[in-house]
Structure 1
Amino acid sequence: MIIEHALLPVLPDRTEEFEAAFDRARHIISAMPGFRSLSLSRCVEAPATYLLLVEWERLTDHTEGFRGSPEYLEWKRLLHHFYEPFPTVRHFDPVPAGAADPAKPQ
C-alpha cells in the first residue's frame, strides 16, 4: 500500500466552493483501479489549507493509472484552479509496527 499525501493551499475566499467541487470529484478518484481510501481534512490553524490522504495499492496506480487517465482531466478541471500555490504531492510507504524494534534480532 502507498499513501499519497498532499497539502492543498486553497484560495481563502474559495473554500466553500472547493469543498463542493471536491464532493463532486470524489467519485472520480474512488472509481480508479488500485484506489483504497481517501480522506480530506481542513487545517484548524490555517482553514484554507487541506490535507488530502489517498491510499493506493501501488504507486503506479496513482502516478500512471490515475494521472494518465481521461478521468484525471475531469479531476483537474474541477479542482486545480483552487490552489495557490500548486500543491506538492508525496508518496509514503507505511512502516510496519515493530520494524525497528531493537529487541528483535536482525
Structure 2
Amino acid sequence: MAFDLAVKRIYEPPAPDDGQRVLVDRIWPRGVSKEDAALALWLKDIAPSDDLRKWFGHEAARWAEFQKQYRVELDGNEYAVGELRGLLRHGKVTLLYGAHDEKHNNAVALAAFLRKTD
C-alpha cells in the first residue's frame, strides 16, 4: 500500500497540503512555538538515539553509516514506527525536522525507511 509522505523543515510555515504534521526530532527546535508548529504529534521516540545523533553530527561523510544504524534502531522500535504507520493509513503525513541540512537528516532517513518497508 503506497502512502502520502512528505519531509519538511519545521521552520517552513505550515501549508494546507501538509496533512498531519509530525515532528520527528528528540529535541524541540529553537525559536518555534508549539502554536506555530501546528503539530498533530511530536513523536520523540522515533528520533535517533542521543548517541547516534551526536555521533552523526549532520556530517555528510557519515550519512550512509548513520542511515544504516538508524534503520537498526527503527527495526527495534515497533511501537513508534507503528504509531507513524497508523497515521499514514489515514492520509498524508509530513515529517518535520529542525536540522539545517535538508538532505542529511533523520526525517529524510526515516522517510526512506518507511518507503522501503511499506
Q: TM-score, normalised by structure 2?
A: 0.32
Q: TM-score, normalised by structure 1?
A: 0.35
Kindly indicate which of the two structures has a greater share of residues assigned to helix.
2
Kindly indicate which of the two structures has a greater share of residues assigned to strand.
1
Q: Which has the larger radius of gyration?
A: 1
